[in-house]
Amino acid sequence: QSVLTQPPSVSGAPGQRVTVSCAGRSSNIGEGYDVHWYQQLPGQAPKLLIYGNNNRPSGVPDRFSGSKSGTSASLAITGLQAEDEADYYCQSYDSGLSGSVFGTGTKVTVL
């Protein structure tokens, strides 16, 4: 069961900006735990995309950015490209469950 809630899908034309939301609660994001984001291409393992709310690992384009406020977080993709079509998951820590929790996942479609 996923503790963090994301929209099932978002879409945009090439070059547009899209955002993916991630809603948590007071025992995870709202308690101050950082949010990380993963990109999963079909048939592949998830790949770390954003860590610590808004930091990009080496090699991740600066078209990807993250933010966090209160009990939620969001991922933004600017200048959408065909290769960005994938599933995206947010992840944080939940003190009530004493473990890591993931979002329900969002499929980003490039029109």
The correct pick among 18, 77, 101, 110 for binding another protein (CB under 8 A) is: 101
CB of 10 to another protein, least distance (A): 16
Beta strand 72-77 with 18-23 is antiparallel
Looking at residues 65 to 84 of the shown chain, list those that interact with another protein (rule: CB under 8 A).
none
Report the C-alpha gap between 66 and 95 in whole angstroms.
Answer: 22
Q: Tell me which stretch binds another protein (CB under 8 A): 12-20, 59-67, 71-79, 85-93.
A: 85-93
- What is the distance, to the nearest Å, from the Cα of residue 48 to the centroid of all Cα atoms in its chain? 10
Query: Binding of another protein at residue 86 (CB under 8 A)?
Result: no
The correct pick among 23, 35, 75, 77 for binding another protein (CB under 8 A) is: 35
The correct pick among 21, 46, 60, 76 for binding another protein (CB under 8 A) is: 46
Q: Which residues bind another protein (CB under 8 A)?
A: 2, 32-36, 38, 45-48, 51-53, 55, 57, 87, 89, 91-93, 97-105
